[in-house]
Chain A
């Protein structure tokens, strides 16, 4: 646009445009450039013959086009609660796993990594765990189709769908929310070649945690255990022996561009992250090619290819456990500087007679995997109003793993060397065929969509093992005998889905969307294998109404409502069948057998989730975007793997077991605090979720009653129910618990007991008033920009959750294991030493003080934390400078992850699993803490 006139021009795909400016205005002309998703820029034409226009991405997210379900829409017209995270916001933290990058960035998306191992990704829970035994992981949709592989460097944007109007279209697998990943496509115009490189270092975070050194341990143990004082001549820091400063490398080259009809994006990536524990690393190579072409006037095609090769090396030989509990009295190296062998070293004092440093000279374990995703997506404009689409995908996965214990080591010694090999293969075939009809009349817009989708997934795996291998030989052919019987299996599941959706809007003010899904899954029994789901959504853009139009304060306002159902089918294959296993676990004396292995439940059916969401999006002064959502999600017919009394002959049965509700509030604020030469942007999000089990089937009071986290109506599924620790008896240093006594008349009194069995009964176990579920979670990012310099700081926080610090049973156990190391008591803890002491820790006694380390509220600790997840300083080297040496642009940065964590937790890392899935909810064993990383980066483009 020529400013002050109505004269303007549009660019073609290459960005060229023609605009005739009257000569008299030439000198004073100001051109205004605008583009969807970018900020409007004004440039005085002056006497310049060349204008360099670089569009800055618009902060206003409302105009971002968001892929929701099977459609793409501008955020301002959505009826759903979604959060979109663009590539630049995503990739501040250094990781090759998307979940790690999502943490703290979207309200209601709770990410927790229970390990700093680069080969194990974090878990994601959206809006609270909606299920008790079935999966709670969200569904990933990559480039328009369910599942698929991708590499974080190629991700253009991630959209988190949280409410049912959006997620419901994905049917049975969407009850835990949907994460939509879109990879980058080329843009027509000049070909861009980009190089992104970062290199850095990582160290384990250790928090307040510290193990005793020789002197400290000796002084502690001498109060209860007789040791020769000469043991303190050796002071091995096993933690330091196991952990190291690790290297992280990330290098990426991408080429993108295209002509008018065809665009391309080709990207290659090398990622290598060493774990902070010796031997552990992950290396990834990936290649993506995205092609898009307008084949004919009506037919366009996308061909997408992603190949990834990943090599994981695991730490072996119990290095992590030994780091925590090996005794500092035992030497890591002998006089010649070689690692000692605990088995034969004279007078080794540690219980497990194990020095991982000796073993890891020879042992190794790892896995290789290859994943390929190929998509062919066709869109055919049958008429101006009807589009037919066919999206087709094949995924292939191949994996192999090996674990080798050399005969010279403790782990492989008994069998003269051990080797385990496993291979796996899987594929997934998916076709999704869609018809879309769009009609406009006057201010009315109507889009109808029909989808038919079929999918099948097949997997098989085999494993073999051998023993009796010559030293240093790690291939199966040199094994002299089998170690375990070989195993192998295959299985397959199928899905089929029909869906219809109607999307109507009037005058960009009123929006209605409704959909219906019919789905079949082979996971369920023949009687209950299909299910129907529906979704409704509505929104009202208030700011397009007369009373708000052109309001300088409220520049945008929208009210959203949605309601609908989805299902959850995330249970193991064949869960409803009564089964006899015919695997070799049912064989005896070399004869094949069949043994009962699973109790059947022919009535098993889908878990049904009914959700309602009310949200509001408001923009103030075009600078502050506020989004608030209130929701409730209720799951009925909960899928539950119910533990059974042993006298049934089975361990469990899958049942539909009652109902559960999550409700919550979440909000995000994106604020342009300062604009202009000096920019300051704040991005803040926070979510409060409350979880409650509403009822259990058969009116049961508890499911899994003896568990620390049983299920009970009226309670959060994270509520701890266990023997209650009552501190230390000041008179004698005994541990004490609460014993509940029920008199014949029903009156209940509490007594103190030093007998654990009396506290560990159905009557005595109580709710601790503490939950593994956080009260709230969130993140805040501040970004400052000045003349090409960008400084951003991102904090994430989790508050109100309690951790069961189980590993203290091993390194904080009042003398039970004199041959393990102990942790140094943290501030505020104290040890009973003499009558009258008011202490937190009982008198230490060799062999243990009356089961003081058994499961009780003693080891519950506040898991709240605030973490400086990332801080990053970047500088865009001025383009003029770069152009002279032939570059289009360059950026250098320094980035640090997890530099500081504020927490009261006594262990190395308060970040524990916040999901019931995996059985580690709120549980801290021997933690592999996450890494502090310091990264240096250089990005440039040609």
Chain B
């Protein structure tokens, strides 16, 4: 503290200067120290070597795991379907996804959009860091990140861009966030067309499949996971030959097998790694139960043994399997897919949610509950083998390969415990006035129900969504006792508004009509 001493015109003895100096020295001792955070690391040191790439790749999956993605994307993809019925209006924005009463300040759209791009941005850092000719273990990790980027772009373009067949992909899609962009570029991205997004997704997946050579559990991406998604993407583009090609690659890989017999009803309670049919699932561990804020809480309320209880026991239980779906399933009482529905019975009587008129039957859905006996825990399945058979069947149906198509459909029907007349034949379909494609889509409805496919399956095939069952969609009507809702594939609301906050931050973003 020389400066302070200078201020002072002391006429005293030297030891007093010394004392003054000592006192002031205390003040400057041990200061000007910088500290490091304890739960974060500086980005400059985050990606330096191969081990860092592995850690950061886990991080990319962790960004995917957050509720803002997992939960919101589920609501946006599944609730517009006709396998579900909302029995009471809700404080949550999810009601708007169900009722097609979208607003541009939707919380779930903002969550999904924001989190999906965070996944992509995290992946991009690794994609940019690892060269294409890296050793196999690093190339694998780069491939996984490319897969995740593709998966996010594909989900984004489905939620915010019109179905590919409309205008042959020429409609506005979503911004393509690729690696190597400057800060300026990332904040001013315009929407690419649906087609451009699909092309980028395919390029990423093909490259990812080429880079990945390590066989990881189905909680992670691997070569077959990329193939499986490619198969779905080509189906959506109506590139049926490629859809079949990649479905074949997955089915033929021998890595997966359909669950059968008593294993099948417990499909969604299994931990993904133990499930031979799952191709890719977003792994949730025992401490990642979201309780009342989980996906399962919207569908189910009950105890740890899986018995249904009243609303509020373990979940909101306000989104049910629709009467339409249950009636369709009931055509074959022995269909094992009844296992995924737990009707709420009291004294043997099916309960109904009395909030609407007509009342909604309470068919609880259990596909998102009871993993590891934790009521609201699940690891949502994104890709599974049954879908590969159904993709192949649909593509073959469109290619005119009726026998192949029906064989795949019947394989799944047999797995579901059906036999004899319950299996499809060309003649049977003709008698029922149904096409082979009808049969495939019906089977998708049964098999993939509540997994976020239904609305896309109808709209990409230019079919209308017909809801003729009790549910809050009837509140759109006058009188509200009229339960009919028909949504045409050309309806502006088969896709969602771009979050208005994003449009406000990036003037290049064009809003959906």
Contact = CB atoms under 8 A, between A and B. Distances in A.
A648 B187 contact: yes
Given A353-B312, A596-B59, A756-B103, A382 B505 contact: no
A195 B39 CA distance: 49
A645 B499 CA distance: 11
Interface centre among A413, A414, A529, A760 (most CB of B within 10 A): A414
Interface in A380-415: 382-383, 386, 388, 390, 410, 413-415
Interface string B295-314: 00000000010000111111
Nearest to A325: B91
B37 A343 contact: no
B93 to A, nearest CB: 11
A878 interface: no
Interface residues of B, number: 110
A592 B54 CA distance: 10
User: Could you say which of A644, A647, A762 has the most chain B C-beta atoms within 10 Å of its C-beta?
Assistant: A647
A596 B125 contact: yes
Given A452-B28, A586-B58, A819 B355 contact: yes
Contacts of B89: 816-818, 846-848
Contact of B62 (A352, A413, A595): A595
B35 A493 contact: yes
Contact of B122 (A413, A414, A649): A649
A344 B376 contact: no
B381 to A, nearest CB: 15
A455 B32 CA distance: 10
A343 B312 contact: yes
Contacts of B9: 437
Contact of A594 (B59, B355, B506): B59
Interface string B274-306: 000000000101110101100000000000100
Interface in A432-468: 432-433, 435, 437, 448, 450-456
Nearest to A448: B7
A855 B7 contact: no
A452 B114 CA distance: 47
Interface string A770-811: 000000000000000000000000000000000000000010
A491 B313 CA distance: 40
B40 A498 contact: no
A764 B432 CA distance: 53
A598 B118 CA distance: 11
Interface string A727-767: 00000000000000000000000000000110011100000
Contacts of A643: 501, 505
Contacts of B310: 343-344, 353
Interface in A678-733: 702, 705-706
A580 B43 contact: yes
Contacts of A816: 89
A585 B311 contact: no
Interface stretch (B12-20, B193-201, B389-397, B408-416): B12-20
Contacts of B177: 647, 649
B22 to A, nearest CB: 9
A485 to B, nearest CB: 4
Interface in A332-371: 342-344, 347, 349, 351-354
Size bin of chain A's contact surface: 35 or more
Given A644-B505, A647-B189, A706-B501, A578 B313 contact: no
Given A522-B35, A593-B56, A706-B500, A588 B283 contact: yes
Interface string B86-109: 001101000000010111110000
Contact of A582 (B32, B40, B283): B40
A437 B8 contact: yes
A482 interface: yes
A454 B313 contact: no
B175 interface: yes
Interface string B1-36: 101110111111000100110011011111111110
Given A580-B41, A649-B121, A343 B309 contact: yes
B475 A433 contact: no
Given A520-B32, A582-B41, A342 B59 contact: no
A591 interface: yes
B135 to A, nearest CB: 20
B484 interface: no
Contact of B312 (A410, A579, A648, A651): A410
B147 to A, nearest CB: 14
A594 B32 contact: no
B31 A494 contact: yes
A344 B313 CA distance: 8
A97 B26 CA distance: 34
| Interface hub of A450, A651, A855 (most chain B Cβ within 10 A) | A450
Contact of B40 (A413, A483, A502, A597): A597
B66 interface: yes
Nearest to A762: B504
Contact of A578 (B38, B44, B57, B59): B44
Contact of A589 (B113, B120, B219, B311): B219
A450 B376 contact: no
A706 B105 contact: yes
A454 B312 contact: no
A579 B41 contact: yes
Interface of A: 226, 342-344, 347, 349, 351-354, 382-383, 386, 388, 390, 410, 413-416, 431-433, 435, 437, 448, 450-456, 481-485, 489-496, 498, 500, 502, 520, 522, 526, 529, 573-574, 577-583, 585-598, 600, 643-651, 702, 705-706, 756-757, 760-762, 810, 816-819, 845-848, 851, 854-855
Interface of B: 1, 3-5, 7-12, 16, 19-20, 23-24, 26-35, 37-44, 46, 52, 55-66, 88-89, 91, 99, 101-105, 113-114, 116-118, 120-122, 124-125, 175, 177, 183, 186-187, 189, 217, 219-220, 283, 285-287, 289, 291-292, 304, 309-315, 354-355, 357, 374-376, 472, 475-476, 480, 497, 499-506, 511
10 contacts: A383-B10, A414-B314, A452-B1, A577-B42, A582-B41, A582-B55, A645-B186, A646-B118, A761-B500, A855-B105
